[in-house]
Amino acid sequence: MKNFAKKLFFCFILIQSAAVFTRAGETARIVKQEGRKVYMDISELKSKPWEGVKFRVAERGADIINPKTGKNLGKEILRRHTGRVDYAEEAFAVGQLDEPQAPAVLGLEAEFILPAEGLRPADAFPAAPTDGETRVSPLWKSDFVEGEAVAAAAADITGAGAELVLAFGDNTINIYTLADNKLQKILTTQVNPLRKIIALDAADVKGSGVAQIFATVYDSSSERFSTLVYEYEDGKLRQSDTIKGMVKGIAPNNGPRVLYTQDITPASGKFTRSAPAKLLYDGKKFTRGDKLAAYKFDSVFGFNMSDFRYDGRQNVIFAAPNRRLRIQFEKKGSFIESPADIDFTTTPVRVKFKNSVQRLPVSLALFKDGAGDTIIAGIENQAKLGILADTFGSYQSARLYFLRWTGSGFAKYARADIDGAVYDIVQAPLGGWGGVIIVPSVSTAGYTTISLFKAY
């Protein structure tokens, strides 16, 4: 009897604790559905949902009647679906269903699962939360795209406007348009599997009016990097050239994309790098222009440039060997680094060579906010199983950090939590969106989601 009383008391405590941390929310009708994305009418709700709040949708069947009393006990629940709110306006909320194959839920009721009032994260907004990082949501988020996006680029490839280019793990290059709020694949090209795609970029280096695609590949048999150049012609992508080494670019402050190239070759059991140089085209072939020189800066991956001292000179910001971002000024000992608690070299893009591993950092975005301050955006991937997972490039989620340049240092500005690993980000227009950061993320289930974040 004594043990029973203890168990009863323990169950009571659990029930009370659950009541403290969650509570049943109000329901909202789903008035629009686009694949996994659903729009819910919250105009009449007293307690509005916010970003991250979970919801559930029940498909109901026939009435359940008590045969003795004739009382209607409610409708039979056939299936339950869950999801999460991406963002909410005054009259409607937008959420994503969790299931990859989106069920038809238009017209059904979504019940919000709200935490207790004291735990509501939205209470901290619009001021920054206690950790100094305001949470931001994407401007737009796609449905699941089949395949694992290992590289990305964006440009006008076919003449149809701002398009998205994704390289998948099956070594294909795929072009998408964004129209009517949906990504539509318009072209796929297979690349020789012996030349593994590790990076993409796109820009009109030739000045032809449309962009060329630059696919950096690694040939493990020859232990060489090269970049395959593709151009759109007669409804297909045609390989028009091969460049020795790697190609990657930047678009500071949403300006025209500028590409840089460097060669990485094996020597004495390690990779040696040439200095990054601007990629040019002389009318007949691709050439190397002026070199980018800065102390400890040696990679066309994970960098950007800006006038950090407001004196007209452009200085490089890059992912340094100590895993911080570093702004390197003219003198060797003149530099400023980002906070130590963010690791900007957590990248799933890496190449093994003998006993060494070449990490290729995720790209950095850079833009001016409404106040004219310089904002730097970069990715920190979150390891699956701790330190060893990072060693092997195994990640399950990521964070997009926004840092504000104060003129003398970095201040944490905001962050976005990403469901999935991020191989690269692209600062470029897409569809009707201009001034955005395109973030493809790969879930542990092997699907890709595209998120767009404000870059202005």
pLDDT band at 390 (very low <50, low <70, confident <90, very high): low
Note the pLDDT of residue 102: 82
Confirm if 191 and 228 have CB atoms less than 8 A apart. yes
CA distance 354 to 223: 10
Strand partners, 94: 39, 87
Count of other CB atoms within 10 angstroms of residue 92: 15
Residue 151 CA from chain centroid, whole number: 11
- pLDDT for residue 19: 36
What's the rounded mean pLDDT across residues 141-145? 93
What's the pLDDT score for residue 167? 98
CA distance to 147, 151, 191, 435, per residue, from 449 (Å): 10, 13, 23, 19
In this prediction, residue 426 carries a pLDDT of 98
Q: What pLDDT sits at residue 25?
A: 61
- pLDDT cut 70: percent of the chain above it: 88
Of 121-125, 191-195, 267-271, 395-399, the range with the lowest mean pLDDT is: 121-125
Beta-carbon contacts of 384 under 8 Å, excluding residues fewer than 6 positions away, are 394, 395, 396, 444
The one-letter amino acid at 109: E
Over residues 432-448, the mean pLDDT reads: 93
3-class secondary structure, 122 = helix
Over the stretch 186-215, which tens digit does the pLDDT of each residue have? 999 999 999 999 999 999 999 999 999 999
* Token code pair at residue 236: 């297909």
At 376, is the pLDDT very low, low, confident or very high (cuts 50, 70, 90)? very high
Of 124-133, 147-156, 289-298, 409-418, least confident by mean pLDDT is 124-133
pLDDT at 116: 42
Q: pLDDT tens digit string along 67-88? A: 888 888 778 888 889 888 887 8
Mean pLDDT, residues 324-350: 94
More reliable by pLDDT, 324 or 50: 324
Kindly state the average pLDDT of the residues 340-358. Answer: 87
Compute the mean pLDDT over every residue in the chain, rounded to the nearest whole number: 86
* pLDDT tens profile 17-57: 333 333 446 899 999 999 889 999 998 887 788 777 888 99
The residue ranking higher by pLDDT, 75 or 366, is 366
Q: Identify which has the larger pLDDT, 385 or 26.
A: 26
Question: What share of the chain has pLDDT > 90, as a percent?
Answer: 61
Which pLDDT score is estimated for 82?
86
Residues 297-323 pLDDT 10s: 999 999 999 999 888 899 999 999 999
pLDDT at 3 over 70: no
- Ordered DSSP codes for 63-79: EEE-TTT--EEEEEEEE
Going by pLDDT thresholds of 50, 70 and 90, the confidence category of residue 14 is very low
Cβ neighbors of 3 (< 8 A, separation 6 or more) are none
pLDDT value at 117 more than 50:
no
